[in-house]
Amino acid sequence: MAALAVLLPLCAYAHDVEVDGIYYNIDSTDKTATVTYMGSFNKSAVYTGDIVIPASFVNEGITYAVTSIGPEAFYYCSSLTTVSIPNSVTDIGDYAFYECRGLTAVNIPNSVTDIGAYAFEWCTSLTSVSIPNSATSIGAYAFCWCTRLTSMSIPNSVTSIGDYAFSDTPWYNNQPDGLIYAGRVAYKYKGTMPDNTSIIIKGGTISIGFSAFSGYNGLTSVTIPYSVTSIGGGAFSGCSGLTTVDIPNSVTSIGDGAFYECMA
């Protein structure tokens, strides 16, 4: 109990500074700042309403550029409704907006390159998201269980998408059966696959997603173009009917269990 009493004050104030109701951790060397959770144990003391994050702020005479939305920054902020993110931000951390069930709108500016795992999971009021042309990766479960998300715009700049990134969203559920491409990723095969199916991954695809064909026993052959550089973990796991795979020299990364329990 004595150890707990010492630790609690350290955990309760996880931020460095607070400016105009937004909490930050700062890097004094680079003069940059990361939006963070306010670090309070009072669950009612969380971000609410409409939040406008500035591109920079001044603290003790020093100007800091806001470059990141930190992990869990708005975690469980269920009364948060809209967020405006400035063009200075380059990444959105893991769990950044997890279970922000009241969040109806968020602009992701054309500066963000990475959207972290679980970043918007369970944001059940989001209906539309536009991923900017600057983005290259979307983490696992990033938009999973966004049950009103009907519109997603994913540019060709996106070359990496984590497992279950769009699962249980209307956008995903409304996609036609077959191989779904998102950005330059062969993201996921959806629906029933006929027996003796041969798949030719379309040219220009950069990666084959995590678990993209997992469990599809009807898949017998796959042709992968020279544009592909990575095959995600579990991509063909459990494809017991798979006998032929053409893997070009362009592939430099094959994830764990990509061909687990395959016959190829």
Give the right CATH number for 177-264 from 3.40.50.300, 1.10.150.120, 3.90.1150.10, 3.80.10.10. 3.80.10.10
Dihedral sign of CA atoms 235, 181, 191, 222 in order: negative
- Where along the chain do its domains lie? 10-174, 177-264
Distance CA 105, CA 219 (A): 40
Per-residue pLDDT at 181: 98
Q: What percent of the chain has pLDDT over 90?
A: 89
- Provide the pLDDT confidence category of residue 263 given band limits of 50, 70 and 90: low
Question: In this predicted model, what pLDDT tens digit does every residue of 168-189 receive, in sequence order?
Answer: 999 999 999 999 999 999 999 9
Q: What is the pTM of this model?
A: 0.91
Q: What is the mean pLDDT of residues 127-141?
A: 98
Question: In this predicted model, what pLDDT tens digit does every residue of 45-64 receive, in sequence order?
Answer: 578 999 999 999 999 999 99
Q: Which are the contacts of 225, defined by CB distance < 8 A and separation ≥ 6?
A: 201, 202, 203, 204, 205, 248
- In three-state secondary structure terms, 146 is coil
Domain 10-174 has CATH 3.80.10.10: yes
Task: Answer whether 231's CB lies under 8 Å from 254's CB.
Answer: yes
Q: What is the mean pLDDT of residues 239-262?
A: 95
Per-residue pLDDT at 39: 63
Q: Fold match between 10-174 and 177-264?
A: yes
- Give the CA diameter of the chain: 68
Distance CA 147, CA 238 (A): 29
Q: What is the mean pLDDT of residues 230-242?
A: 97
